Amino acid sequence: MQISPLRFLHKKLLPMAIALWLGLVGYFGGETVAVAAPTHPSVLGSLFSFSGKRPDNLGVHDGYLSDCPASPNCVSTQSQDGVHYIEPFTYSTSGEEAFAQIKQVVESMDNAKIVTADDHYLNAEFTSAIMGFVDDVEFYLDDEAGVIQVRSASRLGESDLGVNRDRIETIRSLLNP
């Protein structure tokens, strides 16, 4: 059974916010503390930043992107198991044109930041608007296989509620409308 994001926020994050508020009240000895109310999700995301550390295993190693961890918060076209596997991107144009289109799509997406990009590899970070969670997304133009390999993984946590898989499928749909 999948929990909706709003229910997750209500059941998990509300108690954390209350505990944080109570901790601040205790720290300031009951003094009134003025806090500006964030009005935009990106501002709220900066209050709760769960970005984690950038992994040191990103990139292409002997023609392969890194394996997914055991946790289900990762998808990869090169995974050997059904939990993590996702279909590679195919293309009907040249690989270079298809890869350039992927870069354009990623650049146009909210909360995306391209970290590294060349003719055959792209690494982007996607930051969630509310809590500031960062996911690392990689694309690799695999000339030998004639496809574009993909890996998308959360830096923190156990489950991503399908966010990484949904993001990759959204990118795929934007390439093939």
Contact between 25 and 32 under an 8 Å Cβ cutoff? The reply is no
Nearest to 150, CA basis, from 135, 128, 132, 133: 135
Q: Higher model confidence: residue 79 or residue 27?
A: 79
3-class DSSP state of 55? coil
Q: What is the model's pTM?
A: 0.71
- pLDDT confidence band for 35 (50 / 70 / 90): very low
* Rounded Cα distance, 165 and 23, in Å: 36
Predicted pLDDT of residue 54 = 76
Q: Is residue 41 part of a domain?
A: no
- CATH (domain of 143): 3.30.310
DSSP letter (8 states) at residue 153: E
Cα angle for residues 148, 149, 152 (degrees, 5° grid): 130
Q: Is residue 169 part of a domain?
A: yes
Neighbouring CB atoms inside 10 A of 7's CB total 10
Predicted pLDDT of residue 50 = 58
Tell me the pLDDT of the chain averaged across its residues: 80
Question: Does residue 120 share a domain with residue 70?
Answer: yes
Question: Does residue 149 share a domain with residue 83?
Answer: yes
Question: Does residue 163 share a domain with residue 103?
Answer: yes
Question: Does residue 64 share a domain with residue 97?
Answer: yes
Helix H or strand E segment including 142? strand 134-142
* Rounded Cα distance, 3 and 65, in Å: 30
The whole domain housing 53 covers 46-175
Question: Does residue 99 share a domain with residue 51?
Answer: yes
Q: What residues form DSSP beta bridges with 112?
A: 126
Integer CA distances (angstroms), 42 to 72, 123, 163, in order: 26, 21, 18
Question: Does residue 54 share a domain with residue 27?
Answer: no
Does 126 have pLDDT greater than 70? yes
Contact between 149 and 139 under an 8 Å Cβ cutoff? The reply is yes
Question: Does residue 31 share a domain with residue 90?
Answer: no
